[in-house]
Amino acid sequence: MTPEEVVALRKAHFFPCTQHFYRNPPVLVSGSMQHVTDGEGRVYTDFFAGVSVVATGHCNPAIAEATVRQARRLQHTTTIYLTEPSALLAERLAKLLPAYPRVFFCNSGSEANEGALVLARRHTKRRGFISLTESLHGRTSLTTSVTGLSMWRTDPFPDDHVYFIPRPYEFGLDPQEAAERSLSALEDVLNEAGDNIAAMIVEPIQGNGGMIVMPDGYLARAKTLLERYGVLLIADEIQTGFGRTGQLLASRQLGVQPDIVTMAKALGGGIPIGAFAATEEVAASLNVPSASTFGGNPVSAATALAVLDYIEAERLPERAERLGTALKRGLERMRAYYPHLLSEVRGLGLMLGAELYAGDPARGAAVTDRVLEEMKDRGFLIGKNGVSRNVLAFQPPIVIEPGDIEAMLEALDAVLGGIEQERLKEEEAAEGAKTPTPADDVSAGGSGPAGKEPFLSQEAANGGRPE
Ligand SMILES: Cc1ncc(COP(=O)(O)O)c(C=O)c1O
């Protein structure tokens, strides 16, 4: 099918909320590790991994083989009947995450968060929740209610027992100051309504919110405050989980042990699965019958076991940290070279974001779309997120190679270089002056004249390249 035919069918039959990336979108028909191929045979290096899902690569043969083997053997029974894969997966997760010996399997991130929120209500016998502004936790009714990003709050009648506190981030503000502001708001809410609050839910790195890493010490201090009021901490590890940030859980990496953790995306490597896991004490409160028809399905559980085998065997967390450091360094250097375009680079491991035009988010959003389109035409799929949709998102399969990173940076440099040339021409036309000023000097590293060399050729001239 042509892209036009697919778009026409989607327009005719999907709900109008459904969107797609790109003015000229390709139809993706196959995948292999860090690559996907479209219907016309064009190959793209994927730097978005289907929003953090295929961390272990597209159609990874070791994992696909386990999926197919199980699909041929036994596909579905429900947890009413005994099967091996879900029991083995529960045991495996408990070994990998010993603080959370009990798990409930479901099918998506939203469902995992919904379950965690209900568990917190059952455990504390309280109704309220605390959440951060600009967070995203899902599409079910409760998870929409604790979602701070307005564009994802689809339910017009959200649960009104949710207290939003400012996230510990503001562009240009010192992270520790932002953390203090958020913690002080947390303390106020706890003072006012702590007795009615079951849990605080937090993404250790806000993904859709624009790759905002919780600052040093923030989560641990929040946990101490919450404990004072008997309020649980839920870490939404749906985007961060299973190695992308450099460890299996980003919450652990950021120095906190939440009471409940939620997982999905990368755990299934492309096969739908969700789960929430809790401490023995908290899990004991989910003691009335509850079941998910597909949760712990043999095919998804067998796949998740193969995903975990692969993550361990290939030491993907270490790889994410190493390659993420290289990618971040490259993006940082590019930010220094295009300071008008790139405002900030953020993130951990291979969960990175680069914000465009933070001071003019509408322009940033338009430029972000242009960068995505041109990068796609050059063979690279990158994502976007952020409150104003002006943050380039880099969350590639962790199996990506250093050479892919270099090639992507080279393409990004060419795209940003083209945009910068136009900006400078516009600036010149507006000023009506064509004579270069000292501030236009390329070697100054700031915005140069219209003839400014792209970043990487400048790097090469300096005898170095972004690693
Ligand atoms: C942090 C976070 N939580 C929850 C969700 C919802 O997950 P799902 O789309 O699998 O329901 C998402 C989805 O992107 C997410 O990023």
- Which positions ≥6 away from 271 have C-beta within 8 Å? 67, 299, 300, 303, 304
CB atoms within 10 A of CB 369: 16
pLDDT of residue 441: 41
Residue 140 phi, psi dihedral angles, 5° rounding: -75, 175
Six-digit token pair at 451?
């003839």
Which of 19, 54, 108, 110 best tests ligand 1's pocket when mutated (most atoms within 8 Å of CB)?
110
The closest of 130, 118, 99, 103 to 231, measured between CA atoms, is 130
Six-digit token pair at 374?
């041109």
User: What DSSP state is assigned to residue 160?
Assistant: S
The closest of 180, 266, 276 to 232, measured between CA atoms, is 276
CA distance 288 to 122: 10
From the alpha carbon of 111, which atom of ligand 1 is closest? Answer: 11
pLDDT of residue 457: 53
Long-range Cβ pairs for the range 173-177 (8 Å, 24+): 175/215, 175/216, 176/215, 176/216
* Residue 415 CA, ligand 1 centroid: distance in Å: 30
Q: Tell the residue nearest (CA) to atom 3 of ligand 1.
A: 137
What are the helix (H) ranges across 53-83? 61-73
* Residue 176 CA, ligand 1 centroid: distance in Å: 27
Whole-Å CA distances, 172 to 104, 176, 344, 359, 405: 41, 12, 9, 10, 28
The closest of 91, 78, 123 to 288, measured between CA atoms, is 123
CA distance 305 to 95: 12
* Residue 137 CA, ligand 1 centroid: distance in Å: 6
* Residue 48 CA, ligand 1 centroid: distance in Å: 14
Query: In a structure prediction context, what are the per-residue pLDDT tens digits for the chain, which is 467 residues long?
Result: 999 999 999 999 999 999 999 999 999 999 999 999 999 999 999 999 999 999 999 999 999 999 999 999 999 999 899 999 999 999 999 999 999 999 999 999 999 999 999 999 999 999 999 999 999 999 999 999 999 999 999 999 999 999 999 999 999 999 999 999 999 999 999 999 999 999 999 999 999 999 999 999 999 999 999 999 999 999 999 999 999 999 999 999 999 999 999 999 999 999 999 999 999 999 999 999 888 999 999 999 999 999 999 999 999 999 999 999 999 999 999 999 999 999 999 999 999 999 999 999 999 999 999 999 999 999 999 999 999 999 999 999 999 999 999 999 999 999 999 999 999 998 889 888 655 544 444 333 333 334 456 666 554 444 333 33
From the alpha carbon of 113, which atom of ligand 1 is closest? Answer: 4
From the alpha carbon of 139, which atom of ligand 1 is closest? Answer: 11
**Residue pointed to by tokens 């755990």:** 267
Helix H or strand E segment including 121: helix 109-124
**Residue pointed to by tokens 């906190």:** 256
Q: Tell the residue nearest (CA) to atom 9 of ligand 1.
A: 109
pLDDT of residue 357: 95
CA distance 308 to 315: 10
Task: Give yes or no for residue 236 CB within 6 A of ligand 1.
Answer: yes
Six-digit token pair at 5?
């035919």
Is 397 in contact with 46 (CB distance < 8 Å)?
yes
Which of 205, 238, 265 best tests ligand 1's pocket when mutated (most atoms within 8 Å of CB)?
238
pLDDT of residue 110: 98
Crossing angle for the helix pair 84-96 and 298-313, to the nearest 10 degrees: 40
* Residue 359 CA, ligand 1 centroid: distance in Å: 28
Q: Is 292 left (phi over 0), alpha (psi -120 to 50) or beta?
A: beta
Helix H or strand E segment including 274: strand 274-278
Three-class SS state of 95: helix
User: What DSSP state is assigned to residue 151?
Assistant: G
Is 260 in contact with 285 (CB distance < 8 Å)?
no
The closest of 354, 267, 252, 254 to 308, measured between CA atoms, is 267
pLDDT of residue 431: 85
Six-digit token pair at 458?
């400048």
CA distance 105 to 78: 11
Task: Give yes or no for residue 239 CB within 6 A of ligand 1.
Answer: yes
Whether this prediction's pTM lies above 0.85 is answered by yes
Sequence letter at residue 222: A
Q: What are the structural domains of the chain?
A: 61-313 (3.40.640.10), 316-461 (3.90.1150.10)
Three-class SS state of 200: strand
Instruction: Specify burial of residue 28 (Cβ count, 10 A radius: 0-12, 13-18, 19+).
Output: middle
Six-digit token pair at 365?
């959003």
User: What DSSP state is assigned to residue 438?
Assistant: G
Q: What is the largest CA-CA distance in the chain?
A: 79
